[in-house]
Amino acid sequence: MCGSSVVGEAIKGGCVLDRCTRCGHIERDLGRCPADHRDLAYGGEPTLDRIRLDLTHRELVRDGRPGRVLEIGYGAGSLLRRFLDDGAEVAGVDPDQLLVDVDPVVRAHGDLRVGGIEETADLPGDQDLVYGIHVLEHVDNPHRALAASHDLLRPGGRVSFLTPAGDGTAVERYGAAWWMLEDPTHVRFFTADSLTRAAEAAGFVDIEVRRLLLDSLSVDAASVARAVRPGPRPRGVLASRAVVASAVASLPIVLAQRLVRPRTRPTLHLLARRAGESGARGAVPPMDGGSMTTPPSAHRGIRRSVRLFSAFLVEQSDPHRFYSELAADSIDLLREHTGLHGRTVLDVGAGPREFARAFRQEGARYIPLDHDASVASVRDGGVVGDALRLPLADASVDVVFSSNMWEHVPDPEAVADELLRVTRPGGIVFLSYTNWLSPWGGHETSPWHWLGGQRAIRRYERRHGHPPKNRVGETLHRVSVRQGLEWARRSDADVLAARPRYLPDWCATVLRLPGVREVVTWNLLLVLRRR
């Protein structure tokens, strides 16, 4: 893949894989890795197929719902049907339909082609999203496929590919019994390094390779079954009762292992963008002024989290320290997406002067807004207003900043709509809030809010002799992580970041676990760019 030499690597079971000495990319010599038949998941267990479809669709729309979509290897058209139901224009190319009936609605309304993507130069080159689910491991020339995908995107458009991980632990653990070797058309297995190199060679920017926690949940059970019973198997073995039962029974162990050791995750997810504007066709390009020197993930590790939580513990006794730390961290987070010098920044739900000082030191025109005229920063030349009806014109500010305000309004989605309304196209919305089920969801009544909001209030009154400032149902509302993620999936903005605000970057995976994310996230950060 990178042009370096390859060496034959023998694995358990007698199979030999050719591995690059530099980037670790794996090529298969099928003459030395015979396979008796091909067994794909088509016709598999329906419930597992639906779960996998839901998870894959959710992964593809994490950064916003695209308007025009092209799938490489569309098969039965199930994913294209999801996008079609979302209101997108859909197209697809597939060199091998495997005799699978295509969804009739997709067939009627989609632009479907038979052939390789590199052979479809007449397709419109203005797609918002080009994606392929377990396709790159099948193609003879992935460089050509990625280059063709790049050319089919509009400037700023996104590409998304899922492919088996050649640098995971499965090759060493299962050897020739690894389920991904079952299909003889799996001719290559990427590593994170080789996949990044291939995307760079195709001209993509903002390249990220993730290891998916929830993809291919039954692959371990299937690999064990393949090791125990080598030899020919009937079509649809992934749907066999033994494999399904084993997958379900081992799921807690598999998930725990994948959380602790990311290399046990069997799927790589390539995310990248074509250089150019970000947002929909015709959108104003993103802001490019000011200093944008902080690289993503440069400092968001354990040390940062410990520093923030240490400041958090003294919020009541030393508020200046806490808010100074939080303001500085907020500036660092924003720098990853926009410069602030000369920009108009609206702080909705403004509070301490530390934020005003931090933004103005960056050269921003800072406008604090709050419904309470007694708020310190508002007294210093701010605006008194209702977050549900912001007293600003449409598309009038460059950056809207809102920190820990969402949980204090009765209609958070309506407030978030207002934040986006006053942001100019290409501008940034920074939204952060504490979700109800987090350890600090009840604010000063935490963690007793887990036993009930009213009970927590009564306990606080008994201990302190006065009611808490934050009272559930009045000044504090039960907002969830799910609410924020669902609101962010919209057609008029691109999601630039969605992660737990105070936790290390590697904890972002928890957002893909419904239920768990509500307790672990603590505080959700959403950064969007308006189209």
The per-residue pLDDT for range 299-323, each reduced to its tens digit, is 477 888 888 888 888 777 788 888 9
Residue 1 has pLDDT above 70, yes or no: no
As a whole number, mean pLDDT of residues 474-487 equals 94
DSSP state, residue 286:
P
Mind listing the pLDDT tens digit for each residue in 113-144? 887 776 666 777 789 999 998 889 888 888 88
Domain segments of the chain as ranges = 36-274, 302-435+479-530
Same fold, 36-274 and 302-435+479-530: yes
pLDDT reported for residue 502: 92
Q: How confident is the model at residue 277 (pLDDT cuts 50, 70, 90)?
A: low
Mind listing the pLDDT tens digit for each residue in 360-391? 999 999 999 999 888 888 888 899 999 999 99
Are 518 and 313 in contact, with CB atoms under 8 Å apart? no
Mind listing the pLDDT tens digit for each residue in 158-204? 999 999 998 888 888 888 778 787 777 788 899 999 999 999 999 99
Is the pLDDT higher at 232 or at 106?
106
DSSP state, residue 354:
H
Q: How confident is the model at residue 454 (pLDDT cuts 50, 70, 90)?
A: very high
- Measured over the CA atoms of residue 211, residue 216, residue 220 and residue 224, the dihedral's sign is negative
pLDDT reported for residue 175: 83
Residue 12 has pLDDT above 80, yes or no: no
pLDDT reported for residue 120: 63
pLDDT reported for residue 424: 96
pLDDT reported for residue 46: 52
Per CATH, the homologous superfamily of domain 302-435+479-530 is Vaccinia Virus protein VP39 (3.40.50.150)
Q: How confident is the model at residue 42 (pLDDT cuts 50, 70, 90)?
A: very low
For residue 207, give both structure tokens: 């390249």
Task: Report the mean per-residue pLDDT for the chain.
Answer: 82
Residue 251 has pLDDT above 70, yes or no: yes
As a whole number, mean pLDDT of residues 476-491 equals 92
Residue 460 has pLDDT above 80, yes or no: yes
As a whole number, mean pLDDT of residues 500-510 equals 88
pLDDT reported for residue 238: 53
For residue 128, give both structure tokens: 């918002």
pLDDT reported for residue 221: 80
Mind listing the pLDDT tens digit for each residue in 384-438? 999 999 999 999 999 999 999 999 999 999 999 999 999 999 999 999 999 999 9
Mind listing the pLDDT tens digit for each residue in 486-496? 999 887 899 99
Are 95 and 114 in contact, with CB atoms under 8 Å apart? yes
- Rounded Cα gap, residues 165 and 129, in angstroms: 22
As a whole number, mean pLDDT of residues 78-93 equals 88
Is the pLDDT higher at 270 or at 75?
270
pLDDT reported for residue 414: 96
Mind listing the pLDDT tens digit for each residue in 43-70? 444 555 566 677 778 778 776 778 899 9
Choose the weakest-confidence range: 6-15, 172-181, 264-273, 479-488.
6-15
pLDDT reported for residue 51: 65
pLDDT reported for residue 20: 80
- Rounded Cα gap, residues 274 and 266, in angstroms: 26
Tell me the DSSP string of 233-248: --TTGGGSHHHHHHHH
Is the pLDDT higher at 13 or at 247?
247
The fold of 36-274 is Rossmann fold (3.40.50)
- Rounded Cα gap, residues 265 and 313, in angstroms: 35
Are 400 and 416 in contact, with CB atoms under 8 Å apart? no
Tell me the DSSP string of 163-184: EEBTTSSHHHHHGGG-GGGSST
The terminus-to-terminus CA distance of the chain in angstroms comes to 36
